[in-house]
């Protein structure tokens, strides 16, 4: 369970990527992550823009939450889009690190995030 002071960060997976992650218990990320050499995450404030920019028009996505504090020293905060600091993980993700997963359906005006998210 998340504790007070937990900062959740988010990774959007395509359903096939999520299914493979669940089957193998770990992932080095999507093709873009492999190409860049790290796993891309977004904060709650960044994830809607990430979905719109990188997953526009895609349905059957999964929004997966992770506790930034549990990912350790391999998690770096680096400037990216518009100079904002984004969380990047320089190691594989383990399924045991998942806090929560939820479907991220596509609605008429974009992706539909869980209640309480942007």
**Which residue ranges make up each domain of the chain?**
8-105
Return d(Cα 1, Cα 42) in angstroms, integer.
20
Per-residue pLDDT tens over the stretch 36-79: 999 999 999 999 999 999 999 999 999 999 999 999 999 999 99
Residue of 54, 67, 36, 57 whose CA lies nearest to 106:
57
Residue of 108, 87, 101 whose CA lies nearest to 39:
87
Q: Does CATH number 3.20.20.450 belong to domain 8-105?
A: no
What mean pLDDT is predicted for residues 86-102?
Answer: 97
Q: Reply yes or no on whether the pLDDT at 109 is more than 70.
A: yes
pTM of the predicted protein model: 0.92
Return d(Cα 89, Cα 93) in angstroms, integer.
8
């Amino acid at each position: 369970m998340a504790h007070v002071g937990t900062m959740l960060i988010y990774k959007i997976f395509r359903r096939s990527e999520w299914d493979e992650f669940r089957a193998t218990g770990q992932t080095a990320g999507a093709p873009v992550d492999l190409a860049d050499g790290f796993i891309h995450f977004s904060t709650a404030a960044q994830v809607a823009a990430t979905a719109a920019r990188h997953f526009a028009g895609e349905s059957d996505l999964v929004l997966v939450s992770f506790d930034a504090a549990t990912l350790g020293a391999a998690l770096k905060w680096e400037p990216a889009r518009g100079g904002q600091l984004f969380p990047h993980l320089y190691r594989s993700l383990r399924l045991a690190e998942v806090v929560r997963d939820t479907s991220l359906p596509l609605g008429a005006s974009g992706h539909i995030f869980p209640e309480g998210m942007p």
